[in-house]
Amino acid sequence: MAGKPFPELSFVTATTNLDGFKDKKVMRKVRKVVMKNYLDKAKEDPNTTDVRAKKRESPTPLKSEARTPTVQSPSDMPAPSILRRDSMTSFERRTSGYARSTSSRPSSIASSTGSTHSGHAINPMIPPTPNQEWLFGIADELNRKAARPTAFDTRADFEAILAPGSKITAQKMEFLVAFTRGEAEKASADVFAQHTALPPTVDLDRLKINCATFFGSAGMSEQWLPLMMLSPQSFLASLCVSAPYTDLMTAIYRGDDPSKYTETRQTMEILDILPRMINDALNEHGSSDGNITSVAQLLLGQLSTPYTALIGSHQSALKRMVAQRGGLDKLGGNGALAMNLSLINAEANILRSEPVEQQYLTWISSHLNRNENKIQKLPAPEGPLLWVSRGMLSVKLSPLCRPETFQLIELMYELNEKVIRLQRLEENEKAGSMDVNILQSTEQAEIRFRIRQIVGQVYDFPHCHKLVPTGPPDWVYETLRLSSLIFSHAVFQRRPLHMQHECTFGHNCCVLPDMIQEAVQQTPIRPVWDHLAGVLYWALMIAAASCHDPVGETYDSDTPSIETPSSNNANPVHAQPYPTRSATVPPLPATSATPGTTITPPPPSSSAPPANDEQRQEALQFAAQTWSKGKSMFEQYVYARDTDVVGGLMSGMNISEGQPAPSFMPTAGPGSPSSVPLYYHDSGFVSMMGPPATPSPKEENKRLRLEARSPQSEAEARRQKEKRAYVKRFLTANAVRVSILLRFEHTTAMVQSVQRLEEVTRWLARR
């Protein structure tokens, strides 16, 4: 015994608190790690007598570089990649009130968005910005820290990564976030170090990084970023898209706690301040490209918020601004602004079961006519809305595509084709002769017969738990199967997607949007399903449209609109051509910021790469100044909001850079604002104060009857309503993200997909 060496000890660490260490899942993970460590050592020992070590196969997982095994807490553990029978069974049994079985799912974007089969976060069909894979790591770390309850009490957690002017951050974030410091420059104060900390309810840097990470691509940098750089407001307006996405994807799950559905602090703060800034910019610069870009991003982000009553007013404002400019073709951005306005408005109305404005449909048709002979980029976002290559091989050969998944894609593509053909036959029938109508009626009967066959075939596809488990491809299949059932039912009964549909075939089938949301969360939505991105777009659009609640979205004369200048007083604004983008430096707008502090942009780059880093540094400096100025303006508006209150109501504000925010003392009685802000009548943003109205006897009786109800039933009904609203926002936000990522790289393909989806929904609504 004296000469026998002391056995080597192994230590297991768990990244969790003491209470979390007692969790059964953590303890099970610890036991697995310890047993694996023991068996690995026993297998290497030739004198071992343990039968388990002799029979044990060589491990397949990748070995960690560190010797100390680590166990993650439930909040950081990734979703399981292997399908389990017990989880499938519970999933199938869910009804309208079913609860999530994964209450301990990760609460950060880093883990809730999944990963691909290969482990990468970049979609092969979407060229990324430089080092975007590395940028995913930064965003993951920030979101993981921000998910902690105390993360918003101090900014110390962010200083390690977001140190002002960090050289590494400057190299990786490029122009999308624009942290800068020269390579030979010392660690001295820069433009970002001049700012005091923002309110603890919002982190602009984190939101901008999320925007660049989850919505950025090379095509977006070329086409949309120059428009965002036209003004600090348009640069900040991109946060209207990333704030709702951040709130939704970092929702903290606490069983049935409704707080997981109502956590919108980032969204509320951004959508409380940005509309004020945009309104003031509209008063100064009218219908400029920068202002149109700002309103478009505000509209796009509003789709994923609980406050959708203002979407119609945003669309009306964009319509007036486009009319003042002389039409979509007169806008700047080399067609990028017109394309985005058309797709944003079309998708918004598809999701809300509203007719699309004719000018956007005309632009879409004109674009497709101009590019009908253009070779589409392959691989394209093929799926139920688009079939480009023969056999759709890029989809069929994807590791995420099961054979059953591809069969469903083929059926849904055929079903879309049949519906579009019916739509066009009915349009021709209105103006056709009797002989033509007789011929068309025969074709219509054949199409309807085939539609019934397709719907029956969709019902025959089994639940994913009845298939051989393969991991994430099972949930991709399940997401598509559930979306196909909703779509097939709507087509067979010819009703809008959001209407309740009874099972026509007697299968007693119940498909709910929250079932689709649950399945989507198990899929690799971070890289938007790789080559199945077009399939994901269709599934999310169908699922999000089925969540539409026309009762919960009201419009009246009191709903404010964006204060656009009248056409008589507005100065004509002409589109400004953009210079050709260099391979390394994006084009910069030849404009200055709003009066007060002028920012002079560097000269536009040529198509040839720069001989040195001078142009690159100048471009980064301009981007940093634009972002810095936007943050400074944001702080001014936050200060003005907290101090500019008259009689309990927000007064109008018109703040320009370099001027202190005015402060008004409360006076007797409410004050009349000089201009109606965008947020003014939305109770979701502003607490409307005033004397309580005297209820009528009839209302008093109603209140008494409501009080007689069970508090538990009211709480449950409220919880279910909040959950449905959360599911709708989750599906919409991810549909918006997929659309943004694809439209800049596959413009013609996405324009055609949106056109076909609009035709289908128009036929369903009998318009």
| Overall average pLDDT of the 609-630 stretch | 67
Q: Which of 121, 126, 97, 102 is nearest to 110 (CA)?
A: 121
| Overall average pLDDT of the 13-37 stretch | 72
Contacts with 745 (C-beta within 8 Å, 6 or more apart), sequence order: 125, 126, 127, 217, 218, 219, 377
| Overall average pLDDT of the 644-656 stretch | 39
Inform me whether the pLDDT recorded for 97 exceeds 70: no
- Phi and psi at residue 15, in whole multiples of 5°? -80, 75
Q: What is the structure's pLDDT at 720?
A: 85
Q: Which residue has the tokens 């076909």?
A: 756
Cβ of 420: how many Cβ atoms within 10 Å?
17
Q: What is the structure's pLDDT at 503?
A: 66
Partners of residue 358 on adjacent β-strands? none
Give dist(CA 534, CA 112) in Å, integer. Answer: 21
Query: Pick the residue with more confidence: 95 or 122?
Result: 122
Instruction: Name the token pair of 760.
Output: 């289908």
Q: What is the structure's pLDDT at 630?
A: 86
Q: How far are the Cα atoms of 67, 69, 70 from residue 64, in angstroms, in the given order? A: 7, 8, 10
Contacts with 710 (C-beta within 8 Å, 6 or more apart), sequence order: none
Q: Which of 7-16, 240-249, 299-308, 455-464 has the lowest mean pLDDT?
A: 7-16
User: How far separated are the first and last CA of the chain, in Å rounded?
Assistant: 90
Q: Which band of pLDDT confidence, cut at 50, 70 and 90, is reported for residue 682? A: very low
| Overall average pLDDT of the 90-119 stretch | 37
Give Cα 463 to chain centroid, integer Å: 28
Contact yes or no for 293/341 (Cβ under 8 A): no
Q: How does DSSP classify residue 58?
A: P
Q: How far are the Cα atoms of 202, 291, 292, 294, 604 from residue 228, in angstroms, in the given order? A: 21, 9, 10, 8, 16
Whether the ω angle into residue 697 lies within 30 degrees of 0, i.e. cis, is no
Give dist(CA 258, CA 245) in Å, integer. Answer: 18
Half-sphere exposure of 552 (CA within 13 A, CB side): 14
Inform me whether the pLDDT recorded for 372 exceeds 50: yes
Query: What 3 state SS string does 423-467 have?
Result: HHHHHHHHHCCHHHHHHHHHHHHHHHHHHHHHHHHHHCCCCHHHC
Query: Pick the residue with more confidence: 264 or 544?
Result: 544
Give dist(CA 759, CA 749) in Å, integer. Answer: 16
Q: Which band of pLDDT confidence, cut at 50, 70 and 90, is reported for residue 99? A: very low
Q: What is the structure's pLDDT at 133?
A: 79
Give Cα 102 to chain centroid, integer Å: 22
Cβ of 671: how many Cβ atoms within 10 Å?
18
Q: Which band of pLDDT confidence, cut at 50, 70 and 90, is reported for residue 14? A: low
Q: What is the structure's pLDDT at 389?
A: 84
Q: Which residue has the tokens 């093929």?
A: 382
Q: Would you kindly state where each structural domain of the chain is located, as residue ranges?
A: 13-77, 390-544+729-764
| Overall average pLDDT of the 137-146 stretch | 77
In degrees to the nearest 10, what's the CA dihedral of 45, 51, 53, 55? 130
Q: What is the structure's pLDDT at 407?
A: 97
Checking 574-580 for CB contacts under 8 A at 24+ apart, the result is 574/330, 575/289, 575/325, 575/330, 575/331, 575/332, 575/333, 576/289, 576/332, 577/332, 577/334, 578/226, 578/332, 578/333, 578/334, 579/604, 579/605, 579/606, 580/606, 580/607
Half-sphere exposure of 609 (CA within 13 A, CB side): 5
For the ranges 16-20, 103-107, 214-218, 679-683, the maximum mean pLDDT occurs at: 214-218
**Model-level pTM?**
0.70
- Phi and psi at residue 44, in whole multiples of 5°? -80, -15
User: How confident is the prediction for the chain on average, in pLDDT?
Assistant: 70
| Overall average pLDDT of the 570-597 stretch | 33
Q: What is the structure's pLDDT at 390?
A: 85
Inform me whether the pLDDT recorded for 411 exceeds 70: yes
Give dist(CA 354, CA 361) in Å, integer. Answer: 13
